[in-house]
Amino acid sequence: MQTSTRPNLVGASRAELAALLGDLDPRPYRAEQVYRWLNRRLAGCAVEMTNLPKALREGLAMRAVIADPEVLEVRRGGEGTAKFALAYPDGAVVEAVAMPMEGHTTLCLSSQAGCAVGCVFCVTGILGAGRNLTGGEIFGQYRRIMRHEGLVGTPVNVVFMGMGEPLLNLAGVTRAVELLSETVSPRRVTVSTSGIVPGIARLAELERRPKLAVSLNATTQEQRERLMPVAARWTLEELLAALRAFPLERGRRITFEYVMLAGINDSLDDARRLPRLLRGIPCKVNLIPLNPDDRYLSGYRAPDEQTIDAFAGVLAAAHLNVTVRWSKGRDVAAACGQLRGQVLGERAAP
């Protein structure tokens, strides 16, 4: 990927844009115009900023670049799901997904180039840690997909459920949410966490909070530690206490994600324990049958449908709002837990 010594305007603040425009045109409304072109209209170059004088556009193009991550590969599934492998100038590769839904598109973005949490059922975690992405780099994923797929001006939801643990990169994620808020309400943005308790507390302090999803996946501390090493640092008891203290606006609920692994966390005893654990938390539960990956997740498989239905039935009988989420994009390895593995694996192969 070709790099430039000129600053990248994607992710720049209004103050940074005003300083850059400087002697070109110091009037404050010019910086605001550029900001809106970048963050609302998702302009790909200065030439597109048609309400700016030609001389200003030319000067801006000479001083700075407007650069989103490069598309390395797009894989499309039968449901219309598109998985993107995106590269940054330093060689970091992330994946993002566009999933058509009824009335809108959901974009799944990555917050890190890798993941240090190491959940045993997640390909990204198996492949190891990478660096944090800046808010501008995360927002660049959104810009790239919106332009590539012709989605500019259409309704979208955004979920931080791609590569990385969002609450280990809270600065980048909150900046990205701020940039997204120009076109996407925080009520349509969801941040998912494996259970970083201090990050949940800091997220709770934000004036405009995105929705919160928690990857739970177990009903006992011992079981959770086996599946998710992060649970040894922040226990199930600490996590649930932080969630009970999390402020929820009227009508909002916390989403609990429960990846189902055959013979490990899919018993009826697990199903009976789950409502007791979540008592008092306004919530919904997404049961997610494991997305298999013979290369990285050998030895793990999804339960059969009868087991999943019985588990869901116990939760429903306990008056929990429960859905079974057969992940979109399974046929292009874009589903939950499969991000990064295939593209990077193939690029590394002889």
Burial tier of 301 (Cβ tally within 10 Å: 0-12, 13-18, 19+): middle
**Catalytic pick among 95, 149, 165, 257:** 95
Q: At what angle do helices 305-317 and 268-278 cross, to 10 degrees?
A: 30
- Scanning the chain, the segments in alpha helix (DSSP H) are 14-21, 28-39, 54-63, 123-127, 135-148, 170-180, 197-204, 221-227, 236-244, 268-278, 305-317, 341-348
Burial 221-259 (b: 16+ CB within 10 A, else e): eebbbebbbbbeebebeebbebbeebebeeeeebbbbbb
Helix, strand, coil in percent for the chain, rounding step 5: 40, 20, 45
Query: How far is the C-alpha of 254 from the C-alpha of 85, rounded, in Å?
Result: 29
Answer yes or no: 336 catalytic.
yes
Asked whether 271 and 311 are in contact (CB, 8 A), the reply is: yes
**Catalytic pick among 16, 257, 336, 346:** 336
DSSP per-residue codes, 136-176: HHHHHHHHHHHHHTT-TTS-EEEEE-SSS-GGGSHHHHHHH
Catalytically active residues, by annotation? 95, 336
